[in-house]
Amino acid sequence: MNREGDMRGDRDFADESRDAVRHGPSAVPLKALYTASDLEGVSHLGSRPGEAPFVRGPHASMYTQKPWTIRQYAGYADAADSNLAFRTALAEGAQGLSVAFDLPTHRGYDSDDPAAAADVGMAGVAIDSVEDMKRLFRQIPLDRVSVSMTMNGAVLPVLAAFIVAAQESGVRPEALTGTIQNDILKEYMVRNTWIFAPEPSLRIVADVVEYLAERAPRFNAMSVSGYHFQEAGADAVLELALTLSNARTYVDALVTRGMSVERIGERLSFFFGVGTDFFVEIAKLRAARVVWAGIMSELGARGARAQALRMHCQTSGWSLTAQHPQNNIVRTTIEAMAAVFGGTQSLHTNAYDEALALPSADASRLARDTQLIMQHEMGLCDVIDPWAGSYMMESITDDIAGRVRDLMTQIATQGGVVEAIRSGWVQQRIHEAATRTQARIDSGQRVVVGVNRFRSPEADPPSNCLEIDGRQVRARQVRQLAELKTRRDDVLVARALAALADGARDGTGNLLALTIECVRARATIGECTRALEGVWPRYKMPSRFSSGLYGEARMVDAAWRDACNRVSALVTRLGRLPRVLIAKVGQDGHDRGAKTVAAALTDAGFYVSLGALFRSPGEVVDDAIAAKADVVGISSLSGAHLDLVGEVVRTLRVRRPMAAVVVGGIIPDEHARFLKRNGLFAVLGPGAAMESIVSSFVETVELALAS
């Protein structure tokens, strides 16, 4: 074809395809071509950075004056180990800290509590008291290094321990900078580290915000989070609508208590996930600022500080693959670019080996250096909001903002987020989105390189992942707890804990102020939580999943139909449906995988019971007996599988020997071999398509029946 022909072809394409709508991996439709006409009616055009509606960023100069904060989420084992890791990171270029606590700390259990035993120090650092907190920040100047703490359920004692530890090292609360997540609503929706029911938890949130506004005004009192929605399966619009609805609920509650909207807005911050849908993710972050500025303005906020949305971002953990882990370096880098183009204030980049186990030191360094390279070698900080004016970017920013407002109205008309949690609407919507995504991946409609396409027979070299000796960490914590209790004044502790319980019961006093007195007297995290449990019993929430969706999405897919036929043959042989219990064990609340597998197995023809969260190994066995399970499928993502799954296998062998156990999640090969030698039937690695999971369950039942 000659040059003229080429050009005519290009023109034809432009004319014919400019309005063709394609559906990418997210819920936002993208067009093949955008032109000036797509900017008609976009109202945010023309605004400048640092000006409402802040689409171009919360600050006028953005990264040209101060680049985003490199803030890697970290913490493992005990306070001394994590302190060393923090100091090393700061020496090597990290600009702020972000503490990952272990699951027992999140759920308000001390390390010597039997409910916590297997999880101590595994998925974060174990903190039992102010003494641990002092060890965690030894030689770190808390008046100069900002510290973010991801804590929600046990926010009172953990934040109290931080404040007292700082005071005892000579730093007054007024000098502290940092962020406490303090976003309990999303815990009921997805993350599941709640302790108490929503209503008392909202009081705790508000008491924390009020205390910080008064005593530690430089500290961000909340990090309202969308990240976990995305990780659980939500698309960009749902992530924003839920996050901003939650934030709105907090603001309303605080205004009702008499706080000014201006003051609330100044120290409210946000946290979003950044996934693989590059353009949409940039637009999402820009749209978040537009929608939030509108809400705060409606509520009466006038100052830029109160209207401008400031955010932390984290690259998507869910997008990481266990197959060919080096590919994750590329995914993370591009996701990080989306966060930066979207104007984030602070960023965590994931380590490439995190789908296999806790990150190795090398992988963590590479993740951090990715950001250093972006800041220092690539010129990304030289231009403010470089996507501004792009037909595509401005158009989809506006599109997302409109869809988010519509969904927020839908949530509000149902009675708001607390009602939507209670009815299960939110959990259901996210689960359904996750199930559809899984079906798209399993059918190959959504490509995951190295997993469902472009697989290479060459295995990557094994990663040198971090191993935690949880038993040793626990033994150290238990010893330190015992020492703490011999040194303290028990009468003082009892008095402070009684005052805290009274404050909770009577609705009087600020609960953070009361907890600070408990912690100063050396009450532990677990004791403070138990004092509150006396007034507000631990909350329980049913686990639910939806059947029908997965099977429907794969109805015409031969691989799926084959798997279903295998289940039908098994049903014929058994003369009944094969029965499966899908269980979570220990303090691990990540339930996206468990719910999706439960949904797919049901659609394939199994009878599936989904167990509650936070069960002990003994309780899982009780559930298996009650469900008359042929197979118990355990989902484990917390690193505590050796103890917890091992105990389920041992106990089940005695109490229901005909049932077999399989486990799915992040299980290093060596651990898988060990568990299999000790009676585990199978390990289903991350990235397995549902048809292969279904086939594994069929084989497990067949083998268990034959043995």
* Residue pair 680/661 in contact by the 8 Å Cβ criterion: yes
548-553 long-range CB contacts below 8 Å, 24 or more apart?
548/603, 549/432, 549/435, 549/436, 549/439, 549/599, 549/603, 550/435, 550/438, 550/439, 550/596, 550/599, 550/600, 550/603, 550/690, 551/600, 551/603, 551/604, 552/603, 553/435, 553/436, 553/439, 553/440, 553/443
**Is 228 annotated as catalytic?**
yes
Residue in 38, 183, 442, 588 annotated catalytic: 588
The 3-class secondary structure across 167-219, one letter per residue, is HHCCCCHHHCCEEECCCCHHHHHHHCCCCCCHHHHHHHHHHHHHHHHHHCCCE
**Is 73 annotated as catalytic?**
yes
CB of 444 to ligand 2CP, least distance (A): 29
Q: Which is nearer to ligand 2CP, 150 or 323 (CB)?
A: 150
Residue type, 621: V
CB of 73 to ligand 2CP, least distance (A): 4
**Is 584 annotated as catalytic?**
yes
The tokens 């174990």 sit on which residue?
126
Q: Which is nearer to ligand 2CP, 65 or 568 (CB)?
A: 65
**Is 550 annotated as catalytic?**
no
Give the span between the Cα atoms of 210 and 86, in whole angstroms.
Answer: 29
Residue in 186, 590, 595, 641 annotated catalytic: 590
The CA-to-CA distance between both ends of the chain, in Å, stands at 68
Smallest CA-to-CA distance from 542 within 231, 243, 188, 242 is with 188
Query: Hey, what are 168's tokens?
Result: 């005892």
Q: Which is nearer to ligand 2CP, 179 or 636 (CB)?
A: 179
H-type helices in 299-390, by residue range? 304-307, 327-341, 361-376
Q: Which is nearer to ligand 2CP, 227 or 560 (CB)?
A: 227
The 3-class secondary structure across 53-112, one letter per residue, is CCCCCCCCCHHHCCCCEECCEECCCCHHHHHHHHHHHHHCCCCCEEECECHHHHCCCCCC
CB of 380 to ligand 2CP, least distance (A): 14
CB of 233 to ligand 2CP, least distance (A): 15
Query: Hey, what are 266's tokens?
Result: 């100044």
Q: Which is nearer to ligand 2CP, 348 or 579 (CB)?
A: 348
Q: Which is nearer to ligand 2CP, 304 or 535 (CB)?
A: 304
Residues that bind ligand 2CP (CB under 6 A): 59, 61-62, 65-66, 69, 71, 73, 96, 98, 146, 148, 150, 179, 218, 220, 223, 227, 269, 271, 310-312, 314, 345-346
**Is 391 annotated as catalytic?**
no
CB of 175 to ligand 2CP, least distance (A): 12
Q: Which is nearer to ligand 2CP, 265 or 551 (CB)?
A: 265
Query: Hey, what are 250's tokens?
Result: 């907090």
H/E stretch holding 313 reads: strand 311-315
CB of 690 to ligand 2CP, least distance (A): 26
CB of 384 to ligand 2CP, least distance (A): 9
Rounded to the nearest 10 degrees, the angle between the axes of helix 511-520 and helix 525-533 is 140
CB of 342 to ligand 2CP, least distance (A): 13
Query: Hey, what are 208's tokens?
Result: 């924390």
Q: Which is nearer to ligand 2CP, 94 or 662 (CB)?
A: 94
Laid out side by side, the sheet with 97-99 consists of 73-74, 97-99, 147-149, 178-180, 219-220
Residue in 34, 73, 391, 539 annotated catalytic: 73
Laid out side by side, the sheet with 660-665 consists of 607-610, 579-584, 631-636, 660-665, 682-684
Residue in 59, 584, 595, 641 annotated catalytic: 584
Give the span between the Cα atoms of 645 and 634, in whole angstroms.
Answer: 8
Q: Which residues are catalytic?
A: 73, 227-228, 584, 588, 590
